[in-house]
Amino acid sequence: MRVDLERALLDKISDLDTLKSKVAFWQSEGDKVVFTNGVFDLLHIGHITYMAKAADLGDKLVVGLNADSSVKRLKGENRPVNDQANRAALLAALFFVDGIVIFEEDTPLNLITTLLPDILVKGADYTIDNIVGAKEVIANGGDVKTIDLVEGYSSTSIIERIKNSGT
């Protein structure tokens, strides 16, 4: 039987209330829920490696995805390159991603305090004391981890290489 690919992808993308219910269910079943967030504008091997390592820390991986308006405030008027619907669909296509929620705020603090994941993950370019939501997750009995990034890969550097290749 063929899986309805569109339905399978869309089922991973939720609003916060729906995702809160999913997370609560997963946790009630004994699953460890891992949360990370980001822009994920031009999906590259650095993103894939990072999210795969995050997924390995628990049973379910939830991704908070910055909305287009948030990306523009954080990265500038020319970003994102791909809109939030496309970025969410690409993340949903990854087998190790279990849930995605798009957020308008500049930080995922509201998502984190609402979902209360078991493990909060950011790249090793952060320290635990400057990871948004770390103290809330720890206060709830959770853990905060950092993951080494793959050197030489970022959406910004890819965009710069594309711009410079035309000159």
pLDDT digits (tens, 9 = 90+) for 43-95: 889 899 999 999 999 999 999 999 999 999 998 898 899 999 999 999 999 99
> Minimum mean pLDDT among 16-20, 26-30, 157-161: which range?
157-161
Radius of gyration of the chain (CA): 16
User: Does residue 123 sit in helix, strand or coil?
Assistant: strand
Percent of the chain with pLDDT over 90: 72
Return the higher-pLDDT residue of 105 and 43: 105
Average pLDDT, rounded, for the chain: 90
Assign domain 13-165 to its CATH superfamily.
Answer: HUPs (3.40.50.620)
pLDDT interval class at 166 (50, 70, 90): low
Res. 1: pLDDT tops 50: no
Question: What contacts 24+ positions apart, CB below 8 Å, involve 152-155?
Answer: 152/46, 153/44, 153/45, 153/46, 153/47, 154/44, 154/46, 155/39, 155/40, 155/41, 155/42, 155/44, 155/81
Res. 155: pLDDT tops 80: no
Is the whole-model pTM more than 0.85? yes
Which pLDDT score, from 0 to 100, does residue 42 have?
85
Q: Where are the domains of the chain?
A: 13-165
Model confidence pLDDT, tens digit, residues 135-152: 999 999 999 999 987 776
Percent of the chain with pLDDT over 70: 87
Which pLDDT score, from 0 to 100, does residue 110 have?
98
